[in-house]
Chain A
Amino acid sequence: MRFDDPLFWRAGAVSTILVMLCVLAMLTVDSLAAIHQGGSHVPPYTVVNRHIDYVFDAGRGIDAPVIGGAQPLFGKVLDEQAAAAMMAKGKLVIQSRACMDCHTFYGNGAYYGPDLTKAWLDPDWEAWQSITGASTREDAMAMFLMDPEKYATWTRKMPNMHLSLDEAHAVVAYLKWTSAVDTNGFPPNFGHVHTDH
């Protein structure tokens, strides 16, 4: 068979594609097991009942989530069913308001607003508690989400997306859960350093 024969290259194309598709299929099966809630990389939805941190893991050389003791969200401990319902609601809010056409999760989406992957852990929420007069981080977040124009961050304001209290609570829960996902160190240095700008 000659190199200038199209049939040679056709055979090469077909075999290459088949090999790659087989490898992709195997990796997909393994990855789906890891990213299912409760899998090795993605915590169960009930993680919202626990304290979550994001610290440098010297062994892996990256920042990684650390799940701590009990820390109920909005003062309630959610069972598996209630946590799943809360997350489903939070995701529906995020999709129906097209949040990812301004923000990003895991760096995916649009870049007009900040990345939300570890938003639950943002050190700024401590200041927001005093601004909003809320007693907890989650209450401060919910108050901001329901009335962002009242608590404007900077010149680029977040518009009011008309979230109900239930919807705001569901989004806060969702943000707490995503902060516990092992994202291989993304975003880097989160909250460890502060800029002088």
Chain B
Amino acid sequence: MYRSQKLAVKYLAAAITLFGVMVIAGLMSAYYYINPDFLFGILHFNIAKILHIDTLVIWLLMGFMGAIYWFLPEEMGREPVGIWLAEILFYVFCAAVAIVAVVFIVVQYGSSNEIALWFINQGRKYVEAPRWAALGVVAVMGVFGYNVIGTVVATRRLTGIMAVLMIDLIPLVALYLDAFPAVTNMSEDLFWWWWLVHLWVEATWEVLIGCIMAFTLMQLLGTSRRIVETWLYIEVALVLGTGILGLGHHYFWIGTPNYWLGIGGFFSALEPLPLLGMVVHAVYDAGTHHMKTANRPALYWMMAEAFGNFLGGGVWGFMITLPQINLYAHGTQWTVSHGHFAFWGAYACGVISVAYLIVQKVRGMEQVGGALWRWSFAALNLGLIGMVGALLVAGMTQSFVERATGGSTLQAFIAGQQDPWFVSGMMLRFLFGLVFAAGYGFLVYDLLTLGRRRGVVTAATVSP
């Protein structure tokens, strides 16, 4: 095994651990809606929310990096350039994440000065981490880029997937530099903030997971390089062709000119197309191989990624992307429903698929099967779909009661939050969150014990 692949295992382990922290913080965030006195005066909703969404970003990022560190040496046939630096930075990255989490929980807030932004909390959604930690993320991503690009240069061999990956890493690092400013003008602040959030999540991350899924398909199903590269180019063209100006759906209401209503609405409406393409691609490849694979959990999670990306990112996003609907749905639990479904489908399922693939290789298993992964797969997806449905009910209630009939004032907001449909939705969200947490428990136990329990490794090919 390459040193890079040992590092990949560490990154995947850290990612799955942070996934657990995200689940706990998510359950806490959900519980505040049911019992607003929960930890009042000790740890408020906003800190739990910060832990929930920041660990979401970090565990997925670590999962992506783990996946690339796994596939990179196999693709290039050599140890990545500067891997020793990446090994050191992994521990620095983990220590920084732990310190930031402790500061969020213990210190929580600072005064209204730059020191608070540098050392405690930047207070910008998804990039709350203080600036010193954000600088650390840039350093880690910079070394990650150096590992990938340096290795391609050293081998003097460029495959199609590596070319896409290399180009994608440039905006991935550059856009994160937008995590630092504290612009006074909220409209300007949000304008650039969306470059970071949208162009990361709905553009560069989509391309990155496309590259990871291309590697996965070749290993999992033996799909030819010509096919996966053709699909990758099509997906890149469609994702960035629709996603770059799809940025406009975030510019409807922040003070920007109203031409964004038309541009954002049109291109956002097209954004499901590449995601539909990914479903067609996955179903086609799995179908031609009659769903036969040596790693059934990885295949099922990859299929979940394709369908989840299309449904969560594409269909759920399309529901609220036209400005006539977004005027009422924006900033409600409807958005939260879309966010949960999209992050899960587009990225989380893909990282879990890669985790199963890597566990199989590390433990030298010919086949991966058993029953536990099914429980995990069922509970995680049932829990997620339950949460998404409950949040959709709550969000639609808000749109009607608070926005359409209430007029969006404080009293209208309170009326929406106290509506029985909203209250029921939030309680159901918490209950399905518990189901999701149980699924996470099954997942961790399965990953830790695969190949070490009876009945998991079977000699025969897993039948469809």
Contacts and interface: CB of A to CB of B under 8 A. Distances in A.
A156 to B, nearest CB: 4
Of B45, B247, B419, most buried by chain A (CB within 10 Å of CB) is B45
B429 interface: no
**Contact size range, B:** 35 or more
Interface residues of A, number: 84
A194 interface: yes
Interface string A93-125: 111111111101111111110110111001110
B276 interface: no
Contact of B406 (A99, A181, A194): A194
B90 interface: no
B393 interface: no
Contact of B244 (A12, A24, A34, A178): A24
A145 B384 CA distance: 37
Interface in B93-115: 109-114
Contact of A13 (B124, B233, B331, B404): B233
A98 B128 contact: yes
B263 interface: yes
B41 A187 contact: no
B226 A35 contact: no
A197 B419 contact: yes
Given A27-B263, A41-B256, A161-B109, A98 B411 contact: no
B244 A187 contact: no
Given A102-B46, A156-B36, A184-B258, A96 B128 contact: no
Contacts of B191: 31-32, 35
A31 B260 contact: yes
Given A31-B260, A112-B32, A184-B252, A195 B406 contact: yes
Interface string B323-342: 00001101111011000000
A195 B241 contact: no
B160 interface: yes
Contacts of A190: 407-409
A164 B336 CA distance: 33
Of B40, B183, B226, B258, most buried by chain A (CB within 10 Å of CB) is B258
Contacts of A159: 40-41, 44
Contacts of A119: 410
B49 A194 contact: no
B188 interface: yes
Interface in A42-94: 42, 84, 87-89, 91-94
Contact of A182 (B226, B250, B255, B412): B255
B154 interface: no
Given A98-B128, A188-B403, 8 more contacts: A27-B260, A106-B186, A109-B125, A110-B125, A114-B410, A184-B258, A192-B407, A194-B409
6 contacts: A95-B121, A101-B49, A111-B332, A170-B112, A183-B253, A193-B405
Interface of A: 4-6, 9-10, 12-13, 16-17, 20-21, 23-24, 27, 30-32, 34-37, 40-42, 84, 87-89, 91-102, 104-112, 114-115, 117-119, 122-124, 153-157, 159, 161-162, 167, 170, 178, 181-195, 197
